[in-house]
Structure 1
Amino acid sequence: MLNFVLFGPPGAGKGTQSEKLINKYQLVHISTGDLFRAHIKNQTALGKRVSKLIAEGELVPDKITIDMLEEEIDKNPTAKGFVFDGFPRTIPQAAELDKFLEEKGSKIDGVIALDVDKDELVKRVALRQKETGRLDDQAEKSQKRIDEYFNKIILVLPYYDEQKKLTKINGIGNIDDVFNNLCAVIDKY
């Protein structure tokens, strides 16, 4: 089993690159953002709780996120591996993911961080909001999410760096060039 965390701020290209990775490596993509949006769309009890938090640009509590993630992993018992997108966002989440995967006889093989500067992120998210209408991409909310990444979420990277699992790659440039750089990292495993 091959498990990777694709790490980066909103607008870094995690979703775009994840699609390409799952096609090439036959992995299951788990995006906490997509899971949250699906629960919100289906107006589940969880979706209603999460909707308010996301609309305010807040992070969903660890317990809710982890339970939902574990449920999604359990739905895919024959998966060749997973690409985690948007998770973990905190060191306790990273430790909990490690623990859960270890109980399943697996682990995180690597963490690839897409490095994109704030100015580029703002442009990308504004374009995505125009194209998709995602509420969490509206200017004020997206800026709050970008700031949240650079002020808090990025603090997870040293956790993986200490385990020698972290690789940073330039997330700016041609989509295929970024993808080829991702593949060069993954192919080492």
Structure 2
Amino acid sequence: MRLILLGPPGAGKGTQAKILTEKYGIPQLSTGDMLRAAVKAGTEVGLRAKSVMDSGGLVSDEIVNAIVADRVGEPDCSKGFILDGYPRTVPQAKALTEILAEKDLALDAVVELKVDEAALIKRIETRVAETIAAGGTVRADDNPESFKKRLVEYREKTAPLSSYYAGIGELKMVDGMADMSAVTAQIEDVLKETASAG
């Protein structure tokens, strides 16, 4: 099962990825983790990434794509994987298609968690209020203002992926506002559909 989960920050992608990785015994591949692992392992592309990161630069698509290409070829990905935070842009999505084709693989599904952004902001506000009421500390980036900025960035950069995958007939929508188990059930229905269609 090779799956991409799309959706804005706070949509529950991380939660769903965790449930699915445990159920299917496949890894969740996050861009940050893959970058850190490649740097730590001292791979050729990891060393290139390290020099960019050490100089405070942003790692290029070319490097990120190369790291993904290496990672999906690892033995633990033989049964599949869930991509989290990659692809972020349409050029990365096109590169991913090529990477998989070279390995004689294809995606099983691209699932977008559709959410109501106003409700997500309300959710964050409630969480912050509850944390403060319980005497906890609110993370610097866990506030409605920075969350709104992340939503804007998502809409500008990542949301075009929806149109791209819809355009090539690979996008499936699920209701990200449903409760957690209902969202998981919807994702599993999509996977069953694509398995029977394939």
Give the shorter-chain TM-score range.
Answer: 0.7 to 0.9
Q: CA deviation at 1:163?
A: 2.0
Any idea what the Cα deviations from partners look like across 1:144-181, whole Å, max 9, x if unmatched?
Answer: 22111122211111221122111111101210011111
Q: CA deviation at 1:73?
A: 1.6
Match runs of 1:83-162 below 5 Å: 83-124=82-123, 127=127, 137=142, 139-162=144-167
Q: Which runs of 5+ in 1 are unaligned?
A: 54-58
Cα distance 1:134–1:108, how it changes in 2: closer, same or farther (>3 A)? farther
Q: CA deviation at 1:7?
A: 0.6
Q: Secondary structure of 2:78's partner?
A: coil
In the alignment, the residues of structure 2 paired with residue 144 and residue 51 of structure 1 have an alpha-carbon distance, to the nearest angstrom, of 26
Q: Secondary structure of 2:159's partner?
A: helix
Q: Partner of 2:172 in structure 1? A: 167
Q: CA deviation at 1:36?
A: 5.3
Q: Partner of 1:49 in structure 2? A: 53
- Calculate the TM-score normalised by the size of structure 1: 0.78
Cα distance 1:138–1:68, how it changes in 2: closer, same or farther (>3 A)? farther
The letter of the residue matching 2:181 is D
Q: Partner of 1:56 in structure 2? A: none
In the alignment, the residues of structure 1 paired with residue 75 and residue 185 of structure 2 have an alpha-carbon distance, to the nearest angstrom, of 27
Contact 1:8–1:114 at 8 Å: present in 2 too?
yes
Q: Secondary structure of 1:152's partner?
A: helix
Match runs of 1:9-48 below 5 Å: 9-35=8-34, 46=49
Any idea what the Cα deviations from partners look like across 1:13-38, whole Å, max 9, x if unmatched?
Answer: 11100111112222221122444577
Pairwise CA RMSD: 3.4
Q: CA deviation at 1:39?
A: 7.9
In the alignment, the residues of structure 2 paired with residue 35 and residue 136 of structure 1 have an alpha-carbon distance, to the nearest angstrom, of 23
Q: Which runs of 5+ in 2 are unaligned?
A: 41-45
In the alignment, the residues of structure 1 paired with residue 143 and residue 37 of structure 2 have an alpha-carbon distance, to the nearest angstrom, of 19
Q: Partner of 2:188 in structure 1? A: 183
Contact 1:9–1:149 at 8 Å: present in 2 too?
yes
Cα distance 1:96–1:118, how it changes in 2: closer, same or farther (>3 A)? same
Cα distance 1:40–1:135, how it changes in 2: closer, same or farther (>3 A)? farther
- Calculate the TM-score normalised by the size of structure 2: 0.75
| Larger mean Cα displacement after TM superposition, 144-153 or 3-12 | 144-153
